[in-house]
Amino acid sequence: MSVNQSTTTGATADGVEPAWKRVADEQMRRGAFSRTLPVWGAAVVILMIMPLVFPSAVAVTIMNQMGISIVFALSYNMLLGQGGMLSFGHAVYFGLGGFLSVHVMNSVEYDGWWLPLPLLPLVGGLFGLAFAIPIGGFSTRRAGTVFAMISLGVGELVAACSIIFVAFFGGEEGVSGDRTMGPPVFGFEFLSEVEVYYLTAGVVLVAALFMYLFSRTPAGRMANAVRDNEERAEFVGYSQRYVRFVSFCASGFFAGMAGGLFAINYEILTEENLNLVTSGWVLLMAFIGGVGFFVGPIVGAIVLTLLQTVLSNHTELWQLYVGILFVLTVMYAPRGLTGLVAMHGPALRSGRLGPLVAAYGVALVPLVAFLAGAILLLEMGNVANQSVVGESEAHVFGLSLDVSTAPPWLVAAVLAVGGAYALARLAPRLRDAFGRATGAAGGAP
Amino acid sequence: MTELVIFSLLNGLVTGLLLFMLSSGLTLIFSMMGVLNFAHASFYMLGAYFAYTISTYVGFWPGLVIAPLLVGVAGALVERYGLRHVHRHGHVAELIFTFGLAFLIEEIVQFFWGKATKDYSAPEILQFPLFTLYGQNFPAYKAFMILISVGIFIGLFTVLSRSRVGLIIQAAITHPHTVSNLGHNVPLVFMGVFGVGSALAGLAGVIAGPALGTFPGMAFVLGSIVFVVIVVGGLGSLAGAFVASLLIGWLQTFAIALDWSVNDLLALLGVSFDADHALRDLWTLSLPQVAPILPYILLILILIFRPTGLMGKRET
């Protein structure tokens, strides 16, 4: 049974919990794994029925990509969120695990190795681990800026090596394989995308479960301690370097596992999979989702994969939108999308969410106006800047707008400026409503 | 061979001085604020693009002055309204912010100027060979780049060591609180240094744009190398940044110029290798091939064996 007493005895006599007590309680509650069992059960059910809800081939492909991203982003958060290590080279373990998985896949096909496909992510993980051990050996001495710099150096080094060593990395065209050549597992040969989906979903579930359990072990707990105050952690008798090293290796293992999944899904790996762009992308996913929460990177992976696959079909500016989203997150919501939701936890528990939702509802109108105006301006600006002579139609929200005439610009500008002005006027009221709902006196800034 | 050495020395000098223009600002910003500005090379790119647009209207020379000023203002605004806001979340958050900014600036540049390389070229008055040695021309524009860089170096050094502002900056690097207690406006000094550092990067972009190409990836190409320079030189050390810039400039040009390979060494030792073996790439590895990774190997070695950098005082 779980430790539940603390929740019932948590509130003090005057009904207001001190902040530290709330945090401690939350930690206690989160600490009990059995309490999270319903969540894991729900995850299993959702993963099972997803292909039935979204049966189209495109949707299954997108969901497979999400699965890979989820494992990769969760492994990244073992470094950044749980260990306080900002890495700019995490794609190294993802990519190397993936490349070696493809080579193993080819050995299964040509050299007669015996390996059922579902075990391939494990192989990728072991290769990721094999690279994380020596690199972690020298790079985990310090956290912060030094660690970030070393990870950047290692990332650039491996990316540059991938162009030099053609025999292993396949040069420009990469290395490809065939996943269907292994021994069939219970009759499955993984010919169809749906079969691959269920394999991916299973691996995602197992990997996420183990990463969650890792964060509950003393090693995971000490990683938090070292992140928050490395000096005190040393006083308790732990070597900060060793604690970081353990997290780093575990993280490398799961990144390699994600690489193995990538190999199964796409059957090809290229230099792109281990360069700085991929390393930056995983930072974006984890951070936008929220590095302070276990589910944060999962949210980030889902949202950014959707943006990458769906939004990119509609606009060539999608990376600009992602960049703006990222910078705004860093500046105004450093706890990520999950943090924005979690912020409302106290209001929900105290039953005061209603008035806050009403206030949000009022703000929604100018927000939508502002976003619509801003997007229109950007899209029309893009057409006006880039397009060839004679082509002056911008296609946004299913509308065709002629950017050579003034009215569309005027409407967009009015929407954007008006929305922004109304939002700025509403901001103090929203802050008040939030303060009242969460019980903070005078409205928290 | 002499020809090779002379031209490699000159080309390395051009690259090295260009790197110094970027790394000097970056290392000053780092030593004052503790921020490793990932977006520093993005300001370099902005400099090139601003100068390109200005040059299409009024020519190269006004751009040489206006573009760095614009970039400096942009940098100061970023410090005032972005970085200062993020500062309370700590250095890691600042690093993530500048990383996001670098990403965003690249997208913004593509939004306004497109993905293609811009036709930004040196002014015609500088398009002649300055001298010819062993039948190889040395373009006047490269000499102009050296001249500007050296001028900036001397100017920066003079301001920092001789002027009142320079003294306050030097003091604020090591003792920001004391300087603040003495009545100086330290946040303003920070903003100024960030702006000037960005302007220097912008100037580097203005003069490098015609030589190295003006395209959206130009920040990415140089960005990591500049990090290597300031870490190798020792964070916060201007002299270290200067030495490391030249070192890496020459390291890269000589590695590209000298076509030595493991193959030659093997031939010298009388060893042969199997042309189909999986390790074949290792035995045919040549110096020009490994040139791009040499700075990173240097970075990792320095961080492991001498974390203070060549001339730095504090550990990174």
CATH of the domain at A270: 1.10.3470
* pLDDT digit string (tens) for chain A, length 445 residues: 333 333 333 333 344 445 544 554 555 555 567 778 888 999 999 988 888 888 888 999 999 999 999 999 999 999 998 988 999 999 999 999 999 999 999 998 888 888 888 889 999 999 999 999 999 988 888 788 888 888 988 998 898 888 888 878 887 888 888 888 777 777 777 878 888 999 999 999 999 999 999 998 888 899 999 988 888 988 988 899 999 999 999 999 999 999 999 999 999 999 888 888 899 999 999 999 999 899 999 999 999 999 999 888 888 888 899 999 999 999 888 889 999 888 888 888 887 788 788 888 888 888 888 888 888 888 888 887 776 666 677 777 777 777 778 888 888 888 888 888 888 888 888 888 888 877 754 444 4
Pairing of strands A175-176, A268-269: antiparallel
User: Does A410 lie in the same domain as A277?
Assistant: no
SS3 A54: coil
Provide DSSP, B186-206.
Answer: HHHHHHHHHHHHHHHHHHHHH
Whether B214 contacts B118, CB under 8 Å: yes
- Cβ of B220 under 8 Å from any chain A Cβ? yes
Residue A328 belongs to a domain: no
Domains held by chain A: number: 2
* Count of CA atoms in the C-beta half-sphere (13 A) of B214: 28
CA distance B224 to B16: 14
CA distance A224 to A233: 10
CA distance A150 to A129: 18
Nearest residue to B103 via CA among A301, A285, A327: A327
Residue B316 belongs to a domain: no
Residue among A86, A152, A276 minimizing CB distance to B92:
A86
Nearest CA in chain B to A228: B90
User: Does A390 lie in the same domain as A267?
Assistant: no
CA distance B123 to A75: 51
Residue position matching structure tokens 């996420």: A208
Specify the CATH number for the domain of residue B99: 1.10.3470
Residue position matching structure tokens 């605004």: B77
Domains held by chain B: number: 1
SS3 B139: strand
Helix intervals (H) in A229-275: 230-235, 240-266
Question: CB-based contacts of A310: which residues, under 8 Å, 6+ apart?
Answer: A62
- Cβ of A34 under 8 Å from any chain B Cβ? no
- Cβ of B95 under 8 Å from any chain A Cβ? yes
Residue B311 belongs to a domain: no
| pLDDT for B183 | 86
Q: Hey, how many other C-beta atoms are within 10 angstroms of the C-beta on B179?
A: 20
- Cβ of B275 under 8 Å from any chain A Cβ? no
Task: Mark yes or no for CB contact B104/A326 under 8 Å.
Answer: yes
For residue A153, the chain B residues in CB contact (below 8 A) are: 224, 228, 296, 299-300, 303
Residue B314 belongs to a domain: no
Instruction: Report the gap between the CA of B99 and the closest CA in chain A (Å).
Output: 8
- Looking at the predicted structure, is the pLDDT value of residue B10 above 70? yes
CA distance B10 to B136: 12
Task: Mark yes or no for CB contact B93/A320 under 8 Å.
Answer: no
- Cβ of A196 under 8 Å from any chain B Cβ? no
CA distance A317 to A412: 17
SS3 B112: helix
CB neighbour class for A425 (10 Å; exposed up to 12, middle 13-18, buried from 19): exposed
- Cβ of A325 under 8 Å from any chain B Cβ? no
Give the domain-ending residue among A278, A299, A320. A299
Residue B310 belongs to a domain: no
Residue among B97, B285, B292 minimizing CB distance to A330:
B97
Residue A29 belongs to a domain: no
Question: CB-based contacts of A132: which residues, under 8 Å, 6+ apart?
Answer: A93, A248, A249, A251, A252, A253, A255, A256
Residue B313 belongs to a domain: no
- Cβ of B273 under 8 Å from any chain A Cβ? no
pLDDT one-digit tens code per residue, B226-261 = 988 988 888 778 888 889 999 999 988 888 887 777
Measured N-to-C along each axis, helices B238-257 and B2-33 cross at an angle, to the nearest 10 degrees, of: 150
A383: left (phi over 0), alpha (psi -120 to 50) or beta: alpha
Residue among A88, A167, A327 minimizing CB distance to B281:
A167
- Cβ of A358 under 8 Å from any chain B Cβ? no
| pLDDT for B42 | 94
- Share the mean pLDDT of chain B: 85
pLDDT one-digit tens code per residue, B171-188 = 887 777 888 888 888 888
Test mutation, B85, B86, B99, B297, chain A, max A CBs within 10 A: B99
Residue B15 belongs to a domain: yes
Task: Mark yes or no for CB contact A331/B85 under 8 Å.
Answer: yes
- Cβ of B116 under 8 Å from any chain A Cβ? no
For residue B93, the chain A residues in CB contact (below 8 A) are: 330, 334
For residue B315, the chain A residues in CB contact (below 8 A) are: 146
B85: left (phi over 0), alpha (psi -120 to 50) or beta: alpha
Question: pTM score > 0.80 for this model?
Answer: yes
Nearest CA in chain A to B83: A331
Tokens of B214: 């003006």
Residue position matching structure tokens 């320095």: B302
User: Does A263 lie in the same domain as A380?
Assistant: no
Tokens of A373: 């105006």
User: Does A294 lie in the same domain as A355?
Assistant: no
Q: Which amino acid is at A364?
A: L
Give the domain-ending residue among A299, A327, A356. A299
SS3 B129: strand
Q: Hey, how many other C-beta atoms are within 10 angstroms of the C-beta on A326?
A: 24
Residue A28 belongs to a domain: no
For residue A335, report the phi and psi dihedrals to the nearest 5 degrees: -95, 5
SS3 A238: coil
SS3 B267: helix
Residue among A152, A326, A378 minimizing CB distance to B224:
A152
Cross-strand pairs, A396: A399
SS3 A175: strand
Helix intervals (H) in B1-138: 2-33, 40-58, 60-78, 84-86, 91-113
For residue B282, the chain A residues in CB contact (below 8 A) are: 165
CA distance B235 to B312: 6
Residue among B111, B278, B282 minimizing CB distance to A382:
B111
Task: Mark yes or no for CB contact A166/B281 under 8 Å.
Answer: yes
Residue B143 belongs to a domain: yes
Residue among A148, A157, A327 minimizing CB distance to B296:
A157
Task: Mark yes or no for CB contact B91/A144 under 8 Å.
Answer: yes
Q: H/E/C letters for each residue in A18-52?
A: CHHHHHHHHHHHHHCHHHHHHHHHHHHHHHHHHHH
Nearest residue to B38 via CA among A84, A164, A326: A326
Instruction: Report the gap between the CA of A91 and the closest CA in chain B (Å).
Output: 16
Instruction: Report the gap between the CA of B154 and the closest CA in chain A (Å).
Output: 29
Instruction: Report the gap between the CA of B231 and the closest CA in chain A (Å).
Output: 8
Distances (CA, A) of B120 to B45, B54, B203: 12, 10, 14
User: What letter would DSSP give residue A275?
Assistant: S
Residue A309 belongs to a domain: no
- Cβ of A384 under 8 Å from any chain B Cβ? no
Domain residues for the domain of A411 are: 346-438
| pLDDT for A1 | 33
User: Does A295 lie in the same domain as A197?
Assistant: yes
Question: CB-based contacts of A214: which residues, under 8 Å, 6+ apart?
Answer: A78, A220, A250
Count Cβ–Cβ pairs < 8 Å, chain A vs chain B.
119
Q: Which run of H or of E encompasses A129?
A: helix A120-139
SS3 A393: strand
Tokens of A318: 């999608």
Measured N-to-C along each axis, helices A144-164 and A276-289 cross at an angle, to the nearest 10 degrees, of: 140
User: Does A383 lie in the same domain as A291?
Assistant: no
Q: Which run of H or of E encompasses A402?
A: strand A399-402
- Cβ of A328 under 8 Å from any chain B Cβ? no
Task: Mark yes or no for CB contact B93/A334 under 8 Å.
Answer: yes
User: Does A358 lie in the same domain as A284?
Assistant: no
- Cβ of B301 under 8 Å from any chain A Cβ? no
Instruction: Report the gap between the CA of B118 and the closest CA in chain A (Å).
Output: 13
Residue B172 belongs to a domain: yes
Listed by number, the residues of chain B in 127-186 with a beta carbon closer than 8 Å to a beta carbon of chain A are: none
- Cβ of B304 under 8 Å from any chain A Cβ? yes
- Cβ of B49 under 8 Å from any chain A Cβ? no
Domain residues for the domain of B256 are: 2-305
Give the domain-ending residue among A266, A283, A299. A299
User: Does A225 lie in the same domain as A373?
Assistant: no
User: Does A375 lie in the same domain as A247?
Assistant: no
pLDDT one-digit tens code per residue, B35-62 = 888 899 999 999 999 999 998 888 888 8
Residue among B86, B285, B292 minimizing CB distance to A160:
B292
